[in-house]
Amino acid sequence: MMPAKDEVDIVFRDSESQEDAVVSDKKGTPNDQQDMHRMGKKQELRRNFRFVSIFGYSMILMATWETVLTGGQYHWVSEFAPEKHQRFLSYVVGWLCVLGWQTGIASIAFLAGGQIQGLIILNNPSYVPERWHGTLLIIAVASFSIIFNTLLARKLPLVEGTVLVLHIFGFFAVFITMWVLGPRSSASSVFGSFQDNGGWGNIGLSCLVGQLAPIFSLLGSDAATHMSEELRDASHTLPRAMIWTAIVNSSLGFLMLITFCFCLGDVSSVLSTPTGQPHIQIMYNATQSVAGATALASITTVMAVFGCVNNVATCSRQLFAFARDHGVPGGAFLSHVRPGWDIPLNSVLVSFGFAVALSMINIGSTVAFNSIASLGTCALLSSYIISISCIFLKRWRNEPLLPSRFSLGKAGIWINGLSVVYLSMAFLFAFFPTFPHPTPNLMNWNILLYGVVVMFSLVYFALQGRKVYAGPVEYINRVY
């Protein structure tokens, strides 16, 4: 049975003094307490994060230069979608977020593992990488991430601040080294030369198809929102941390992109590098030193590993929140928070198990694994489109928005509109294959996998979800 809003209100009002003690123990502020009461949620997670740590968290997870409320999107859709569509759209977006973030652990662990293999080849050219080696490295990186998200969970904010320092100083270490020691292309070559290496026959189309990798480097802007119940004064701190993350990471990413374009050297030799990692080859070409290239590339590898740490935190909290609202099977188990741990341990462990299961696909086919891994990008893009479209529609209709401590003001409708247009285009091209007329082995099977997952979620909603899933908006106490 779907919970009735009135029943939820009574529970909170009868236990208000108990809630005060819980919030105090979890280090929340009065604003945090008010927000949790309005959303009809119990404070179960410890608020360890501050501005610097959540800023570092977002920066590390997005990690743009290296890659040349906990519910997040589904909660926003539940509040901002047209009333008659709130429950269904919120449910679909929740599933898309689960899909996007759950595949993210294996994806980032695969990237980190690939970089580790590249460093091994650089230092030991006789090493022959095998697919099962990559799978073991995926599991190793994921296991390392699980340790930080369980046994060391309370130290995670301190780690985020420390790794943020590495993120910034590492950028300058690579940036300065490349400009001082690297080969130099002319400005006319960098800004005026375009190559259709995909064979599409059109530079514009080739760029649109090839934007999936740059999108992946900027994906995850919603990551910090899934940690909001562990952030002190979240309604004030979170949006500002997200804005600064976008500004700083995009700026660093653009500067590093320009740097590598100028210091690229021979494109064909870089793309055919025995390390399998073009950025490692570029660093070696610049330094002409195995030790120097290893030191520089190790920075990006460490950042990729900690990006996986943050991905585990994000996807487990998102799964916890959606399970708490009865959006997935086994909701009671996945949303359980063990006393004393103050983390959704069951969701963390299930996320780890899912990543391990996905990594096994890599043993049989790296292409199949990459298709599933990149599926997360499509899922998150579609969740962004639906979420922003709902807010855009309310602005377009001049319907009142909830009072907030951060607002885009009059520019909001323009920002929302442009975002939907670009994201829709990116979503479409995310399903394109890398090359025209691909063989089955090189085909982008995302569209099939995406359709299967969406259909499964719809079937589950029809059979069970509609009976138990009310949507976050049903729990809200209208205190404003």
Which residues are CB-neighbours of 328 under 8 A, at least 6 positions away? 94, 95, 98, 319, 322, 334
* CB neighbourhood size of 478 (10 A): 8
Q: Which domain holds residue 125?
A: 48-472
Give the pLDDT confidence score for residue 2 in this predicted structure.
47
- Tell me which residue has tokens 């059109």: 202
Q: pLDDT at residue 277 above 50?
A: yes
3-state secondary structure at position 151: coil
Share of the chain above pLDDT 70, in %: 76
Lowest mean pLDDT among 68-82, 202-216, 302-316: 68-82
- Per the CB < 8 A criterion, the answer to whether 131 and 290 are in contact is no
3-state secondary structure at position 231: strand
Q: Alpha helices, DSSP H only, in 150-287?
A: 156-181, 187-192, 203-209, 212-218, 234-262, 267-271, 278-287
Phi, psi angles (nearest 5°) of residue 404: -145, 165
Among the ranges 48-57, 143-152, 400-409, which has the highest mean pLDDT value? 143-152
- Per the CB < 8 A criterion, the answer to whether 135 and 408 are in contact is no
Averaged pLDDT score across all residues of the chain: 77
In angstroms, how far is CA 156 from the centroid of its own chain? 17
Domain-located, residue 237: yes
Q: pLDDT at residue 476 above 60?
A: no
Q: pLDDT at residue 140 above 90?
A: yes
Look at 231 and 141; give whichever has higher pLDDT.
141
How far is 167 from 455, CA to CA, in rounded Å? 40
Give the pLDDT confidence score for residue 167 in this predicted structure.
82
- Per the CB < 8 A criterion, the answer to whether 235 and 35 are in contact is yes
Q: pLDDT at residue 316 above 80?
A: yes
How far is 77 from 389, CA to CA, in rounded Å? 9
Tell me 275's DSSP state: T
The structure tokens listed for 336 are: 């359980």
The helix (run of H) or strand (run of E) holding residue 88 is helix 86-123
Domain-located, residue 477: no
Which residues are CB-neighbours of 471 under 8 A, at least 6 positions away? 78, 86, 87, 90, 91, 325
Average pLDDT over every residue of 366-382: 80
Report the number of distinct structural domains present in the chain: 1
Q: pLDDT at residue 259 above 60?
A: yes
Give the pLDDT confidence score for residue 272 in this predicted structure.
83
3-state secondary structure at position 401: coil
Q: pLDDT at residue 71 above 60?
A: no
Domain-located, residue 39: no
Domain-located, residue 107: yes
Average pLDDT over every residue of 217-242: 66
Average pLDDT over every residue of 186-192: 84
Lowest mean pLDDT among 220-234, 344-358, 379-393: 220-234
Amino acid at 218: L
Instruction: Please report, for the domain that includes residue 286, its CATH number.
Output: 1.20.1740.10
Domain-located, residue 89: yes
Domain-located, residue 147: yes
pTM value? 0.78
Look at 4 and 124; give whichever has higher pLDDT.
124
Share of the chain above pLDDT 90, in %: 16
Give the pLDDT confidence score for residue 403 in this predicted structure.
67
Domain-located, residue 319: yes
- Per the CB < 8 A criterion, the answer to whether 71 and 344 are in contact is no
Domain-located, residue 30: no
How far is 346 from 325, CA to CA, in rounded Å? 16
Give the pLDDT confidence score for residue 58 in this predicted structure.
54
Q: pLDDT at residue 90 above 90?
A: no
pLDDT band at 284 (very low <50, low <70, confident <90, very high): very high
The structure tokens listed for 269 are: 């030799």
Q: pLDDT at residue 49 above 60?
A: no
Rg from Cα positions in the chain: 23
Give the pLDDT confidence score for residue 3 in this predicted structure.
43
Average pLDDT over every residue of 167-187: 89
3-state class percentages of the chain: helix first, strand second, coil last, to nearest 5: 75, 0, 25
The helix (run of H) or strand (run of E) holding residue 197 is none
